[in-house]
């Protein structure tokens, strides 16, 4: 089920999420996607992504909520 980024951030606050079927606005900002994996453990999400390696859609990995102190994010 495709959800807005606002819904995803609310529902999965404090977790890493892996999204497929993502859509962006005209400026390239992510606006919605379908959550396939979520966990407080980034490594758990990364390990589970291989199941979707052949998915023909735009994907995204993101942290829902405020990024914790000491965590670096590469954009």
**Listed residue (37, 64, 40, 58) closest to 49, CA to CA:** 37
Query: DSSP strand E in 1-75: where?
Result: 2-4, 15-24, 30-39, 60-64
Residue ranges covered by each domain of the chain: 2-64
For residues 41 and 58, give the distance between their C-alpha atoms in angstroms, rounded to a whole number: 22
For residues 1 and 8, give the distance between their C-alpha atoms in angstroms, rounded to a whole number: 11
Token pair belonging to 27: 């400026």
Token pair belonging to 26: 């005209």
- pLDDT digits 0-9 by tens, 27-66: 999 999 999 999 999 999 999 999 998 988 999 999 998 8
What pLDDT shows up at residue 75?
A: 64
């Amino acid at each position: 089920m495709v959800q807005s980024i606002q819904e995803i951030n609310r529902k999965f606050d404090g977790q890493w999420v892996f999204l497929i079927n993502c859509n962006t606005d005209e400026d390239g900002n992510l606006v919605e996607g379908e959550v396939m994996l979520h966990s407080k453990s980034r490594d758990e999400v990364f390990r589970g992504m291989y199941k979707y390696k052949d998915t023909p859609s735009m994907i995204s990995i993101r942290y829902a909520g405020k990024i914790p102190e000491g965590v670096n994010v590469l954009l």
